[in-house]
Structure 1
């Protein structure tokens, strides 16, 4: 009788162990991604304009595609905290009023981002939603080619906090790897300033609000 009970316990342990391993392979997940950053960039307000921009002047920031890395810590099987690492570069061009004019050149931004995520407890694919905060840190901004003949010597974009919404899905390949698809929508603005020497010539408020779309592979440790 003892032998039968021991065999039963051993069998239950063998059945339960793979299930537990499948539910939770580790606390840390690293994602290697190809990412498209698709910002808006339109002007929402004119604060200063001593140059006399044409009426109806409007702008658009260009899209960019970069490699990114995401690192995620799981507090439970369903709740995690994620941060991403990347630098993305954008120009800002005129669309109306100054169509095609390059106003900002090679502006590089680090979008420091943290999102809290909830992973739905499904059996196969692993969908999730998330929300969090971001801080856009501009590390290099150059005057656009169209502004230099106007006497512009320096251009800046203000660092700003914002909010992020997120959704995606991880599709397991095996116990520790997955294909992953992710979409984030950022809500963040910036103040653009153009200087002629020490004189503030133009100051405008811009809506950035980029979509950030990613696909890649995930490894859980």
Structure 2
């Protein structure tokens, strides 16, 4: 009995070795993704805090969409858990859609959506879907007052950098056994910003805006 039990244990251990090796192989690996990414922000006004120029009461705004290249870098902590960060720069205008329809209020606002997410991966064989969540910090660079604000005497403009939350879901599909694959990814951010238009050193208009963009990506992945 003892001999047969020992043989059985050895056989079981041997059968688990490939799975253990695969898990160890995945742990510590890095995956790089090159994406084409659609950035789809909201941009609507949630609150008018300062208005010394007399904006129409029904004024509402919207940010334009943009498509940009992005790079994601992912580190696997284990077979199912990973950390991911993305790198991109996207540019947006903000126009009025009511009150002052068609008026350009913000021009060329460049945004770096610094993001890190923790992801959980499922293995369905040919497809490996995942879900994730994390933190984001939106950094605005070089934003200008829109053309419609210049006749009001506006001389400068600022969008506040802000922290927020990001939720994520997607799927990786391996194309071969050498680490190449395709990837589809969607993130929803929950983040606001404060917009300030200045006349000299005076804040003429200050508004709170819901950005809350969808960021939808498709591209190639390589894990090594």
TM-score relative to the length of structure 1: 0.90
Q: Distance in 1 between matches of 2:202 and 2:166?
A: 35
Contact 2:96 2:104 in 1 (8 A): yes
Residue number in structure 2 paired with 1:210? 213
Q: Please list the CA deviations of residues 81-104 of structure 1 after superposition, one character each: whole Å capped at 9, or x if unmatched.
A: 000000100000000001000000
Residue number in structure 2 paired with 1:196? 199
Q: CA RMSD in A?
A: 2.0
Q: Distance in 1 between matches of 2:112 and 2:160?
A: 12
| 20-29 vs 94-103, which moves further | 20-29
Tell me if 1:168 matches 2:178. Answer: no
Query: Where in structure 1 do 4 or more consecutive aligned residues deviate above 3 Å?
Result: 15-26
Matching of residues 13-52 of structure 1 within 5 Å: 20=21, 24=25, 27-52=29-54
Q: Please list the CA deviations of residues 131-152 of structure 1 after superposition, one character each: whole Å capped at 9, or x if unmatched.
A: 0000001111101000011100
Cα distance change, pair 73–118 in 1 and its aligned pair in 2 (3 A): same
SS at structure 2 position matched to 1:148: helix
Tell me if 1:89 matches 2:103. Answer: no
Number of positions where the alignment pairs a residue of Structure 1 with one of Structure 2: 211
Residue number in structure 2 paired with 1:67? 69
Q: Distance in 2 between matches of 1:106 and 1:83?
A: 24
Q: Distance in 2 between matches of 1:76 and 1:133?
A: 21
Q: Distance in 1 between matches of 2:44 and 2:82?
A: 34
Tell me if 1:178 matches 2:181. Answer: yes
Q: Distance in 1 between matches of 2:216 and 2:25?
A: 26
Q: Please list the CA deviations of residues 174-206 of structure 1 after superposition, one character each: whole Å capped at 9, or x if unmatched.
A: 120111000000000000000011111000000
Unaligned 5+ runs, structure 1: 1-8
TM-score relative to the length of structure 2: 0.89
Q: Distance in 1 between matches of 2:101 and 2:123?
A: 50
Unaligned 5+ runs, structure 2: 1-10
